[in-house]
Structure 1
Amino acid sequence: MFSRKRGGPKHVRPTDAPPSEALRHSLAADDEPPAPEHGPYDQRHAPSDVQRLDLGSLLIPAIEGVEVRVQANPDGVVEQVVLVDGESALQLGVFAAPRSEGIWNEVRDEIAEAMVADGVTAQESQGPYGIELTARVNTPDGPADLRFVGVDGPRWMVRALFQGRAAADRSSEGALGEVLSGLVVVRDDEARPVREALPLRLPKEMTEQVEQGEQQAGPPDGSTATNGQNLN
């Protein structure tokens, strides 16, 4: 799904939505433009007066009632980030991208193609961040709604996957929508292949929780640890 297609990148197409605020600011003139009105933010434009959970390449704003579930391997490398609010969930990922052009259009096409190959019909719609992708899939627990949102930034792309009520009805995003609009991406200076996942790590307080849990429960029986953290 995230492998580059043959024939080179197509990235931005004339019919696609304009660049996101984060990417547009990175392409502005030499004079430093004012900070964008909302995120996901590049680190240099992020408001400073916000409490956030530091996962390395992602800083997640603390929103009351939102639970952060992080899956990490024994070395503390984060493999999955899911936020839960009532009947809705938001899975976040952040990936390397070129500085001057976005990759969400290409990635979105490939997600849709993969769904069609699995017999699922995916539909495009216009959202606050540009073109989104929605679909209903069958799961062991019954039909489930999915909504993919992509945001291109300077040398990064955020992929957000809404599930549950917030996927079926965009107006029900609530606190999860606030999380996405307040997200901050910290892109390191290391040269990385396009679409490589940017490194995420457990913050110190969550690492300590994992260690305490392992001491109480004995040796782990798997290669990952799942932690629920309420930011408030």
Structure 2
Amino acid sequence: MRNVFRRRRREQPEQVAEQEPAAPTRESGPWDADEPHPETDRIDLGGLRLPHNPDFDVRLASVGDQHVGVVVLYEESSLQLQALAAPRSSGLWDEVKTKIVSQAKHLEEREGPFGGELTGEMKVDGQPRPARYLGIDGPRWFLLAVISGKAAADEKVAAAFIDFIKDVVVVRGNEPMAREEPIPLRRPNDETGETPTEGPGFNPFKRGPEISEIR
């Protein structure tokens, strides 16, 4: 599949010669934009910067005029990503996990690459589909990742998605945001980044939102 986004230019190349960036303090992300992280080519979507993988078909998920998440397609599988604003004092994953369990049956909790995760099935157009729910709490943000399809049951296929998630950069920004409010996303060529801040959330349990393909 062809990646429908162009690569983001290497971040701040003119400053590399003047000052070496600080080395990351962790082996992998997801990264916060304000912490030291590897300077690689990424797709700039405003609130998320995604690693470039030419095998992935990357799309924005939209509800109306609001971009609420990202869908990545690969090997008969999909990865849904959404970044939400979180309180400074605590994370959201435990709370979100409880909500998911209340809406989706036959889920089990297990340890995964980012800590506790949920595995089981989700309904897509009324049909069961293998699914994994992963949550990562960051500084004032929360990243929800939902892997469905073949990759949810095949660790080899899932590994490509896991590596992708580990190199995502979340750009929370300093503006006040409500708890669980989606961090605004934008098209790569929209430098203004003007995105409505109100609207429905990203719901992995119902038919997916309109997919806006970027070419």
Q: Confirm or deny a common fold (TM above 0.5).
A: yes
> Number of residue pairs matched?
178
Which secondary structure state, in structure 1, belongs to the residue aligned with residue 46 of structure 2? coil
**Higher percent of residues as helix:** 1
User: In the alignment, does 2:96 pair up with 1:111?
Assistant: no
Counterpart of 1:37 (choices 22, 27, 52) is 27
> Are the counterparts in 2 of residues 59 and 184 from structure 1 also a CA contact under 8 Å?
yes
Query: 4+ residue runs of structure 1 moved beyond 6 angstroms?
Result: none
> Which residue in the other structure is 1:24 paired with?
none
Whole-angstrom distance in 1 between the partners of 2:94 and 2:148 = 21
Q: 2:90 corresponds to which letter in structure 1? A: E
> Which residue in the other structure is 1:3 paired with?
none
Counterpart of 1:182 (choices 167, 171, 188) is 167
Where do 5+ consecutive residues of structure 1 fail to align? 1-31, 207-222
Computing the radius of gyration from Cα coordinates, the structure with the larger value is 1
TM-score, with length taken from structure 2: 0.73
Distance 1:34 1:193, change over 3 A: same
> Are the counterparts in 2 of residues 155 and 187 from structure 1 also a CA contact under 8 Å?
yes
Distance 1:97 1:64, change over 3 A: same
Paired residues for 1:124-143 under 5 Å: 124-140=109-125, 142-143=127-128
Paired residues for 1:59-98 under 5 Å: 59-72=49-62, 77-98=66-87
> Which residue in the other structure is 2:129 paired with?
144
> Are the counterparts in 2 of residues 66 and 176 from structure 1 also a CA contact under 8 Å?
no
What percent identity do the matched residue pairs reach? Answer: 36
1:38-79 CA distance string (max 9 Å, x none): 01000122535311111111001101301101134675x413
Where do 5+ consecutive residues of structure 2 fail to align? 1-21, 192-208
Whole-angstrom distance in 1 between the partners of 2:211 and 2:101 = 31
Q: 1:186 corresponds to which letter in structure 2? A: V
> Are the counterparts in 1 of residues 68 and 182 from structure 2 also a CA contact under 8 Å?
no
